[in-house]
Structure 1
Amino acid sequence: MSSYLFLVLAVLVAPTLPAARAADTATTPAAASAELPTQKQRLDTLFSELKKTGDSDKAKDVADRIRTEWQDSGSASVNLLMQWAAKATETNKRSVALDLYDQAIALAPDYVEGWNQRATLHYQMGNYRKSMSDINHVLALEPRHFGALAGMAAILSAAGKDELALRAWEEFLTVYPADRKAQEQFGEIEEKLAGNRT
């Protein structure tokens, strides 16, 4: 078994971390989430709402608010590096963007979105092992990161690891159950695996 698949398995079969359990027990209304003093508290409240929301449009709004929280590193310098990296990516200056993401991660190694954006760029560049490595960092910092889980599922599907991809989509849907695309992907892989078994 390759080392990156071992890491994937470790992440997917790991028990739910305390942060995820806290999201299940959060009782503060989402409307008051902006008034909560820490980003962690705001995220816990939003994730609790995301898990309970059955309406896909409302869930998308909550997911967008979560993404907004993730974008703020708490450092003006890191935020600026991330903006420059995004611009470099848009203008197809990928090596520049990669360097900027590297700098952001060096300055803020616990900043989840630095790792996530670099994982996305590696994926776009076809560097799947590096992308998977960054995804594992993302999920170690924030196991509820649905974007990273979707990226993991895509890489595993492309590698023909359908059972692991199904597991990644299952984790995604535990966090974000109302996402229609994830439901479709999960269903397609489940049908494919069922067909392979008959």
Structure 2
Amino acid sequence: MRILFAFLTALLVSGALPANADDHATPPAAPNAPAAPMTKQDRLDKLFTDLKRERNEKAAERIAGNIWNEWSQSGSASIDLMMQWSQKAIENQKFDVALDFLDQVVTLQPSYAEGWNRRATVHFMMKNYGKSMSDIDRALQLEPRHFGALSGLAQIMALTGHKQSALEAWQKVLVIYPMMRSAQDQVATLSEELAGEGI
């Protein structure tokens, strides 16, 4: 036993064995080392946390605008260009042209939630509610916090006479974006209407 102890002590002194477990730990970062850059997902997570906590309507609108800016960046110059062209077509009420661009966007980058949301918006403007809801569903699968897509869903539900579903969708919007004035107004209005109807 003494021989084993002497052998282990010799190994320890020679540095062949670690003195303690901390010797295997990663060395601490230098105090002035730059922090790793935030990913798009990190930025969105922080913005959504800020949006949920913000109680000033104007400040919340600015945060929501920053979220829309993050959503609009596809990571592809060609997709971003097609999104710009689709927006121009929408502004000129050339919905078929906008759909052509957006069909390309969702085909080329099916994981880009904003492409699906934009196409849902065009279908909504064309009163193609079924197609709009299908695209909204896809956008929400990719980004469940997409308050724009949820707002669109709520509007379709209200327009098609499904007030309870519309109310539930607006309530989901308020969980994500509590200071959205239009959602607050819709929840109040629909709640009154449904109470009056006795649900």
Task: Give structure 2 stretches of 5+ with no counterpart.
Answer: 1-35
Could you tell me the TM-score, scaled by structure 2's length? Answer: 0.80
Does residue 1:108 correspond to 2:112, yes or no?
A: no
Q: Deviations over 1:90-144 (max 9, x none)?
A: 1222111101000011111010110010000000001000000000001101111
Normalised by the length of structure 1, the TM-score is 0.81
Q: Is the 8 A contact 1:36 1:42 kept in 2?
A: no
Unmatched segments (≥5 aa) in structure 1: 1-34
Per the TM alignment, residue 36 of structure 1 is displaced from its structure 2 partner at its CA by 4.4
> Any idea what the Cα deviations from partners look like across 1:156-175, whole Å, max 9, x if unmatched?
00111111111001100000
Q: Distance in 2 between matches of 1:124 and 1:165?
A: 18
Alpha-carbon distance in 1 for matches of 2:104, 2:161 = 33
Q: 1:88: Cα distance to partner?
A: 1.4
Structure with bigger RCO (C-alpha 8 Å, 6+ apart): 1
Q: Give the equivalent residue in structure 2 for 1:77.
A: 78
**Alignment partner, residue 96 of structure 2:** 95
| CA distance in 2 between partners of 1:92 and 1:192 (Å) | 33
1:89 offset after TM fit, Å? 1.5
Letter in 2 for 1:145: H
SS state at 1:143 partner: coil
- Counterpart contact for 1:152–1:168, Cα < 8 Å: yes
Q: CA RMSD in A?
A: 1.2
SS at match of 1:147: helix
Identity percentage of aligned residues: 49
Query: How far apart, CA to CA, are the structure 2 residues paired with 1:72 and 1:161?
Result: 34
Q: What residue number does 2:43 align with? A: 42
| Distance across 1 between alignment mates of 2:37 and 2:158 | 39
8 A contact 1:153–1:168 mirrored in 2:
yes
Alignment-mate amino acid for residue 135 of structure 2: D
Equivalences, count? 164
Q: Distance in 1 between matches of 2:115 and 2:97?
A: 15
Cα distance 1:186–1:36, how it changes in 2: closer, same or farther (>3 A)?
Answer: farther
In structure 2, what is the Cα distance between the partners aligned to 1:50 and 1:167? 20
Counterpart of 1:110 in structure 2: which amino acid? Answer: S
